[in-house]
Amino acid sequence: MKNNNIGCFGWLVLLFCFGLVLAYWYIFLIIIVICTLIYWIYSVNQKKKKSKQTNSPKIINAQEKSSKSVQAASVDKDHSLPIEKNSDNEFQDPNENIQLSSNLQLSDILFLNWLNGKDINEPVPGYIVNRFSINPIVEKKKLKSENYVKEGSISWRLNKLKVPDLKNILRKNNQKVSGRKSELIQRIQNNIQLQKYVDQLPHVFELSDKGSKLINKYNLIIWAHSNSWLIPPKEFLPYIDSDKSNIEISISLHEEKLIKIIKSASFNDYYEFERYEDYLADLYDKLNNEEKYVEHTINGAFLDYFLINSLNSRYYFEPDYYDTFQIQSKIIDLIQKIPEMNDLILQGAIATFIKDYSNILPEYVKNNSEQMLNALKDAINLSPQELHHKRLINLKRYITFESTEI
C-alpha cells in the first residue's frame, strides 16, 4: 500500500511539472537556448586553447624551471639537453681514447702527466677509470716498466715539500730561512747533508727523460684536456707540430665548430652557442684581442638575453634574476676592461651578432638593433633588479607567447 502511495505521488509531481512546461513553454525554451550557447562557446575556447598550447611556446617562471626540466628529461630522454661538464673536464666519451702508436694511447699521455709528482704510495683514485678510460693499476705498472716514469730524485722530492717544511730544515741547520721556494731548495742542497732527511722527504714519481720528451711532444693535448671542455683533446692531435700557440689553435678549432653548428641550425645545438661564444671571448681576452673579445662577449650576452636557446622549443623558460645578473656581469666586465667603449663599437658588435646568427634569429631580434643597444646601456646603468624587470618587459613585448599556469 505504501509503495502504491509513493507511485501515485510521483505521477502527480510529473503531471504538475508537465503543466508548468505547457503554461510557460517560452521561458523553458529560452533557458535551453542559453545553456546550449554557453556550452558551444566553452567548446570553441577549449579547442583554441589546445591548439595554441600545441603550436605556441609556453612561459614557465623561474620557480617552475627546475622541476619542469626534470619532468622533461624523464619523459623524453632522447631529446634532453646534455649535462654540463664539471671542472675536472672529464672525457666526453670513453671512445675518445684513441691509439697514438703501437704501445701508446691518448689516455697514456694524460695519465702520465697526472702521475708526475704524485706520491708513489698514494692510491690511484677510482675516478681515473672514468677520466682516462683506463685501468690505473695496470697503467701505472706499464709506465714504470717502460721507463716513462721513475722514483723522484732528491731535488724533485725537495720541490714537493711545502715552504714551512723547507724552512724547518734550514732552521735546524742554522741557515737563513728567507727567500723564495727555489732559493730555499738551492740553499738546502748547497749547505746541508740531506742523507739524514731522505726518509722525511716524500717519495714521489718523476718523469724520466723518455717521459719528459713524450709530455713535451703532446703538450697541446694535455693543455686541451685541461682547458677545452667543448672540443675533445683528440681533435687537437693534427696540430701538435703547429707553430701557433695553444690558445690560437683552440680558437681556430672552436670558431670552425661554431660556424658549423650555426649553419646546421639544429635545435639540439642551440644550447651550445652561448658556451662557445663565452669560451672564445675568454681566449681572445687572454690574447688581448679587444675587437674579438667585444664581439664574442656581446654575442654570448644577446644569445642569453633573448633566450635563443629556447627557440623552436615548446616552452620558454622565463629567466630568473640569476640569469639576468650573469648577463650584466659580462657587460660590466667588458666595460671595465675596455674603458674607451662607445656606441659606435657596440653598434658594430650588434651588427656582427645579427650577421653571424641571421639564419636562426627571429625577426623581433633582427629588426631591433636599437633596442639591443638600449639593453646594453641598461646593463651598464641600471641596478640588477631594474635590468631584470626591464628584460622581462622586453621579452614579453617581442615574443608571442601564452602565459600558462603549469
Q: What is the pLDDT along the chain (406 residues), one digit of tens a residue?
A: 444 555 676 677 677 677 776 777 777 778 787 888 787 777 767 665 554 444 444 444 544 444 444 444 343 333 333 333 333 343 344 445 778 876 888 889 999 999 998 988 888 887 778 777 788 888 889 999 999 999 888 878 888 888 998 888 889 888 898 888 888 888 888 888 777 777 778 888 999 999 999 999 999 999 999 898 899 899 999 999 999 999 999 999 999 999 988 888 665 556 788 899 999 999 999 999 999 999 999 999 988 888 766 655 555 567 788 889 999 999 999 999 988 888 889 999 999 999 998 888 877 778 888 888 999 999 999 999 999 999 888 887 766 543 333 3
Compute φ and ψ for 121, nearest 5 degrees: -90, 0
d(CA 89, CA 233): 11
Contacts of 354 (CB under 8 A, 6+ apart): 361, 365, 366, 369
CA count, 13 A, side-chain hemisphere, 288: 0
In order of 41, 111, 260, the CA distances from 138 in angstroms are 74, 12, 40
Would you state the cell numbers that stand for residue 233, as one nine-digit string? Answer: 683533446
Grid coordinates belonging to 389: 624587470
C-alpha cell at 329: 656581469
Give dist(CA 78, CA 83) in Å, integer.
Answer: 13
**C-alpha closest to that of 194 among 151, 244, 154:** 154
Q: For residue 127, how many C-alpha atoms fall within 13 Å in the half-sphere facing its CB?
A: 6
